[in-house]
Amino acid sequence: MAYQTLLFDIDDTLLNFQAAEKQALEGLFKELKLPLTSATYDFYHAENLALWQQFELGKISKPKLLVKRFAALFDRLGIHDIDGQKMEERYRFYLGQGHEPMPQAPEVLSDLSTDYDLYVVTNGVAKTQKKRLAAAHFDHYFKNVFISELVGAQKPSRAFFQRVTADISDYQPAQTIVIGDSLTSDIKGAASFGLDSVWYNPTHQSNQTGIKPTYEIDQLEKLEQIVE
């Protein structure tokens, strides 16, 4: 099947979010003159992931999520007089500097943008995501960047994809495909809206969910064969 409209996730699909997250936490802890142990990082990573999954399900707002993760982290460290909002702002400053591309992302975007219509679909924080895309020199590849807080709904909800596709000229469902690393966000959202999907799974995680992608790849360059 020939595709024309490609909807890309950002984090851990085009840009290495794991690296950016660690770099940002290291920057924050250095500023606070606190040691960042691997156990502390692992706790934050797990807490953050769980909160974003709650956000996907509509169980927590994004502003509450962003502050709650730091309240939980510093509570665990026995530090109770930390301003969670201030920690979020300082962390976001460092996170905005993280724009390491995922392997093959620059080449694949360059190739695909000549023949296909590329869009971003992300749940991340708008200001940070735009800054990271620009710093990676990826922003010019996309016809539009759809960010949940600006769209007014989040992946994987049908409302998110309804609003996104309403803003795509000449939208054809059969020619549209979603590319992302998250089964519960990107792939579930695509499936619930009747769109094909590509699960980018470079670390060969086992799929323990009932969510089935149309395709699965472990290298971004394999996307080019799928969309032809």
Active site residues: 9
Amino acid identity for residue 90 in this structure:
R
Instruction: State how far the Cα of 217 lies from the Cα of 2, in Å rounded to an integer.
Output: 17
> Nearest 5°: CA angle at 57, between 3 and 105?
40
Query: How many other CB atoms are found less than 10 A from the CB of residue 3?
Result: 19
Q: Which of 190, 156, 124, 172 is nearest to 58 (CA)?
A: 156
Query: How many other CB atoms are found less than 10 A from the CB of residue 219?
Result: 12
